[in-house]
Amino acid sequence: MTTDQDKLSASRRRALIPRLLARFVLRAAAVVAMLTVVAWTAVLTKQSRIAPPLALVETVGADRYQSEAESVRESELTPVELKTETVKFDPIQDEHSADPQTRWFNGRPVRPATTITMLVTAYSPDAKSCGDSADGITATLHSVQTNGFKLVASDPKVLPMGSMLSIPGYGEDMIVPVLDVGGKIKGNRLDVLFPTHEQAIQWGARRLKVTVWEFADGKPADNPRKLR
């Protein structure tokens, strides 16, 4: 038989159930909130490892620049060993390099001495031009291939062997040596050499103002037989 006291206890228990449920809900919410905070803190920590705060970046950069500036100042105070090099000057080349008229021939400085108006014809080193003398050797015992087939025959009484000339239109106006003679080359006349008879015919005969060059180093002219 249920007494009044038992009824009272049952009524109290029923009254406690809502309170217990409310406490359980509050504790569960607190646990969820704590887990959320822990997770967000982990995310922030990971991001901070990847990209440090801007203030930290600026501090690190300033420290780096300051260390570089200090190293520069230290290098300025450090004695530097100077290396000296011996430079060789060529007195002949240095003396004549400032003269715009100075050119070079056979390793020596040359300058224009005079100009002569001459009749300039052409020949080839074959029998068509040289007849029985077509042996490939010039009067100064040079091969006709000397200077790339760029050489001249003259009258030795006008231009001695070894004379240096520049002839407009021949050899790209380079300085060429007189290394040959010819039976018909007399007076103010020159014969310029071409590798083939066809090229010589194409040159024809021209009256040109020829520049005669001389050595500018004060030394005597070379033996024309040694001009190789």
CATH of the domain at 169: 2.40.40.10
Same domain, 31 and 108: no
If one compares 77 and 167, the residue with the highest pLDDT of the two is 167
If one compares 43 and 112, the residue with the highest pLDDT of the two is 112
Question: Does some domain include residue 84?
Answer: no
Residues 6+ apart with CB under 8 A from 101: 111, 112
pLDDT band at 87 (very low <50, low <70, confident <90, very high): very low
Nearest one of 98, 183, 176 to 142, comparing CA atoms: 176
Question: Does some domain include residue 152?
Answer: yes
74 burial (CB, 10 Å; 0-12 / 13-18 / 19+) is: exposed
If one compares 61 and 37, the residue with the highest pLDDT of the two is 37
Residues 6+ apart with CB under 8 A from 218: none
Question: Does some domain include residue 70?
Answer: yes
Instruction: List C-alpha distances in Å: 48 to 41, 45, 51, 57, 162.
Output: 10, 5, 5, 12, 88
Of the listed ranges 35-39, 105-109, 207-211, the least confidently predicted one is 35-39
Record the tokens describing residue 106, joined without a space. 């056979």
pLDDT band at 88 (very low <50, low <70, confident <90, very high): very low
Same domain, 131 and 214: yes
Q: Quick check: helix, strand or coil at residue 142?
A: coil
Same domain, 50 and 127: no
pLDDT reported for residue 72: 45
Nearest one of 178, 219, 208 to 115, comparing CA atoms: 208
Looking at every residue in the chain, the average pLDDT score rounds to: 76
Domain membership of residue 218 as a residue range = 92-223
Residue listed under structure tokens 């004695």: 79
Structural domains in the chain (count): 2
Question: Does some domain include residue 87?
Answer: no
Same domain, 15 and 124: no
Question: C-alpha angle 63/65/67, rounded to 5°?
Answer: 70
Nearest one of 191, 177, 187 to 123, comparing CA atoms: 191
pLDDT reported for residue 13: 66
If one compares 86 and 200, the residue with the highest pLDDT of the two is 200
Residue 140 pLDDT more than 80?
yes
Residue 62 pLDDT more than 50?
no
Distance CA 141, CA 89 (A): 36
Question: Model confidence over 186-197: pLDDT tens digits?
Answer: 999 999 999 999
Residue 28 pLDDT more than 60?
yes
122 burial (CB, 10 Å; 0-12 / 13-18 / 19+) is: buried
pLDDT reported for residue 36: 67
Question: Does some domain include residue 55?
Answer: yes
If one compares 77 and 189, the residue with the highest pLDDT of the two is 189
If you average pLDDT over residues 70-85, what whole number do you get? Answer: 48
In the chain the beta strands, taken as DSSP E runs, fall at 103-105, 108-123, 152-154, 164-166, 175-180, 189-193, 206-215
